[in-house]
Structure 1
Amino acid sequence: MLGGAGILLTASPALAAEVSYKTECIPPSISGLPPVQGTTKVLVTAPAEAKVGDEVEVVWKTVQAASKNPDVLDLDKDTVKPTGTIRIGGAGSGTLSMEGPRQNPPIKKNSPMVLPDMKGKLKLDKAGEITLTPDKYTINVSKPLSTDTKCSPKETVGAAATIKVTDGGGTTGSGGTTSSGGSTSSGGTTASGGSTTTSGGSTTTSGGGTTASGGSSGGGGGPSDFPGKEVAVKLSCVSPGPKAVTSKVSISARKSGGSYELTVKTAKGVMTSPAPLPKGALKPSMAVRIGGADSGKVTVRGPANPAPVAAGEMVSLTDMTGTYKPGASGKATLSPGDLTITVTLGGSDIVIPCKVQGTSPVSLELDTTKQAGGVVGGSGDSGGSGGGDDLAHTGADDTGALRALALVAGTVILLGGAVFTFTPWARLRR
């Protein structure tokens, strides 16, 4: 009865094992820091034994992060949030998404990163022994700017925990697992927490967008990649932005458990800069509109421009990313929404909102299953890669690379004039 109600079960005492592995961490591009080579030490805790149908909790404790807070700025309390991935092996396959709270003590400059524990829930659907192996992880820091430091293994990592899954009669055999909260699994099984698995590999177009009835498979299981259709969107921007602009936009999705990782691409070279822009000065974000069976908005963000832009040079917006957690079951539509361009110069932000004019065409349609805390009736905020209002401070011990947050150095040269001249639609078609 407890299992059927989705109650977390631990059929036997939890076991923990620590593993260490060589890791490369990539600081945010706007920091100017080089990649960090270090060692990650992780303690994974999970039940030693469980039964088919149980939903167990897995805990990732970071004993040592591969990078530290560089000698630039102190990190305030409760500004650090980790997310990560555990690979499922042995009798099972797939991945389990892990997430920790934004919780940490104050961290001084040039000090080890202190990360809160990450947790994930794993649904066991077949008998056998499964292994849990820590994999890549991301560290997000929310102040003074939002950025991510992404860390990944550079050697084979050993299993940190094993769960013996029985079929209720005490026997074990081969089988796989499915997990809730963002994990994927092979064999086309359905993830706990309401995510759906569909078969096939084709896509169809409905209502002007791409219907995600198939897509490419990840891990040998159900579809995970859903490319969106490129659509034209008309926008009207607030001064000092242009009065009107039309751009091509596409929204694509990658399935992650019951949620979808979104990527929004705009046309390349849609604007020119009337004045020089330093590296890291321009960041885009968009409120993707959710319709059909679901409703609300999902914020996607892009990293800052990776290279300086000369006066008169064409400017392209970076790809924007975010997470869509369905708030309803059925066919949900995703359409481009309002765009925001933020220019940071001389320590000041120039925010240029651009509103969608008329009907926003559908770029993608997804078959969704309602998730707890989904987007229905409101807005989701993913804090996508490299966007938002915070700066990641994990990285190498390079004391000069982030001095005074160099991305905001320089003169405010855009105030009082038009910021961008957008390329006419005829040029976009060419």
Structure 2
Amino acid sequence: MSAAGVALMLGGAGILLAASPAQAASVTFKTECIPPSISGLPPIQGETTVEITAPATAKVGDTVDVTWKTVKAASKNPDVIDLEANMVEPSGDLKVGGAQTGVVAMKGPRENPPIPKGGDMKLSTMTGKLKIEKAGDITLTPDKYVITVHQIMKTETKCAPKEAVKASATIKVEGGSGNGGNTNGGTNNGGTNNGGTNNGGTTAGGGGQTDFPGKPVDVKFDCGETVPGGITTPVTVSAKKNGGNFDLTVKTAKGAMKAPVALPKGALKPSMKIKLGGADTGMVNVTGPANAEAIAQGADVSLSEMTGTYKPGKTGKVTLSPADMSIDVTMVAGSTPLNVPCKATSTGVSLELDTVAQAGGSGSPTTTTTTGNATSGNLAETGAEDEGGIKALALVAGTVILLGGAVFTFTPWRRLRGTR
């Protein structure tokens, strides 16, 4: 799952930069690769050579295309099996530094020539999009990457730098038109913070303002064994003032991936926790409806917008950050859904609000005491107490459901008995 390749650049449509000439530069760095646990192989120490291509210049407000070409991967195909053509799919993180910081989620198609046992891994070129938000020199540096193999079963080799990596490309950015100065097209309004950025998020409040658009932040979700490789997607938290409360709208990726099998109406229902920081603490739960239309095989997969209400428990500046997510998967109407809990392993501030404490505010305090399906702070629990139950539910039908940037694999009982 903006994850719009894997990712949709939320908060406003960008303009693809095509006028500036592209630049390509390569960098080599020491790398450690962790083979799949089922292989029993030890970590691999090697070197990775990557070539990053990006425009030489850009303007604030542009959205630019960047590419990652793996000239040499640190790991080889183990001496276990010959890999057939089009079985290898790469993904990775491209660090953004200098005048602007962040991470671009990169992804390549499942394309490769046949790779013999012990042969060099041949990875397709990965692509991603970067929204230019600040003037100055922006650097692009390759970071960790994942080699996913889809032959026989889905396995992942995770590779990460073992030394400081030098920037591979630099984009020189000129000031934009003002309306493109941030992701949501906000302006400075003569020096006020309405629509500006603060601590990585969008500051909102005061001056009679009622609508507060947030800033998309890249979030990585670990969904355990149910979703190998997890999900990476930009998430945007926006708010609309409703008396002393705030109605929240949370958006994730749209149309980023393709469904390998048909998904019925009502198959996917998301929910998420929004973490409060600054003056207030706690969590706010947001939920979204299930998909209203069936999703055909090969069509785009999206999650619905999620909504909820934040009732401030404290007065002051409060930050809102995407936290853990949960997805209910129902393939047959009326059946018990498979709940997939996904823990946010990295996130950031999407929005900052000026708040006034309300009686019975839901933000503070917080506890971890569970009562039924909710916790104090009016936060519905989206995780599962019985991990074994999730795994048991997953053992139903030999099919694959693609969701965002991840694959759910359901193993037939017959095959399970064979492996045990």
TM-score, normalising length from structure 1?
0.51
Deviations 1:178-232 (A, max 9, x none): 69xxxxx96215249995245943423578x995969xxxxxx975542369x9x
The answer to whether residue 403 in structure 2 is matched with residue 381 in structure 1 is: yes
In structure 1, C-alpha distance between the alignment counterparts of 2:309 and 2:34, rounded to whole Å: 32
In structure 1, C-alpha distance between the alignment counterparts of 2:170 and 2:338, rounded to whole Å: 51
Contact 1:248–1:267 at 8 Å: present in 2 too? no
> Partner of 1:40 in structure 2?
48
Unaligned runs of 5+ in 1: 170-174, 180-184, 215-220, 234-243, 258-262, 272-282, 285-316, 318-338, 343-350, 354-378, 391-407, 415-430
The answer to whether residue 97 in structure 2 is matched with residue 57 in structure 1 is: no
Q: Among the aligned pairs, what percent are the same residue?
A: 47
Residue among 227, 238, 257 paired with 2:324: 227
> Partner of 2:385 in structure 1?
267
Spell out the pairing of 1:234-245 with structure 2 (5 A cutoff). Answer: none
Residue among 25, 28, 50 paired with 1:20: 28
Deviations 1:325-353 (A, max 9, x none): xxxxxxxxxxxxxx2227xxxxxxxx699
Residues 266 and 126 of structure 1: CA distance in aligned 2, closer, same or farther (over 3 Å): same
In structure 2, C-alpha distance between the alignment counterparts of 1:151 and 1:176, rounded to whole Å: 35
> Partner of 2:108 in structure 1?
100
In structure 1, C-alpha distance between the alignment counterparts of 2:182 and 2:307, rounded to whole Å: 30
The answer to whether residue 284 in structure 2 is matched with residue 204 in structure 1 is: yes
RMSD in angstroms over aligned alpha carbons? 4.8
Residues 178 and 144 of structure 1: CA distance in aligned 2, closer, same or farther (over 3 Å): farther
> Partner of 1:155 in structure 2?
163
Spell out the pairing of 1:159-308 with structure 2 (5 A cutoff). Answer: 159-168=167-176, 187-188=200-201, 190-191=215-216, 195-198=235-238, 200-201=276-277, 202-205=282-285, 223-227=320-324, 250=341, 252-253=343-344, 266-267=384-385, 284=391
Unaligned runs of 5+ in 2: 1-11, 185-197, 203-214, 218-232, 240-275, 288-305, 312-317, 330-334, 349-380
In structure 2, C-alpha distance between the alignment counterparts of 1:71 and 1:212, rounded to whole Å: 55
What SS is found at the alignment partner of 2:394? strand
In structure 2, C-alpha distance between the alignment counterparts of 1:149 and 1:60, rounded to whole Å: 18
Return the offset for 1:53. Answer: 1.3
Return the offset for 1:131. Answer: 0.4
TM-score, normalising length from structure 2?
0.52
Residue among 130, 137, 141 paired with 1:129: 137
Return the offset for 1:264. Answer: 8.0
Contact 2:90–2:123 at 8 Å: present in 1 too? yes
Contact 1:52–1:124 at 8 Å: present in 2 too? yes
- In the comparison of the two structures, how many residue pairs are matched? 267
In structure 2, C-alpha distance between the alignment counterparts of 1:177 and 1:92, rounded to whole Å: 11
What SS is found at the alignment partner of 1:112? coil
In structure 2, C-alpha distance between the alignment counterparts of 1:65 and 1:205, rounded to whole Å: 41
Higher RCO, Cα 8 Å, sep 6+ = 1
The answer to whether residue 150 in structure 2 is matched with residue 142 in structure 1 is: yes
Deviations 1:400-423 (A, max 9, x none): xxxxxxxx9998598xxxxxxxxx
In structure 1, C-alpha distance between the alignment counterparts of 2:81 and 2:234, rounded to whole Å: 42
Residues 148 and 88 of structure 1: CA distance in aligned 2, closer, same or farther (over 3 Å): same
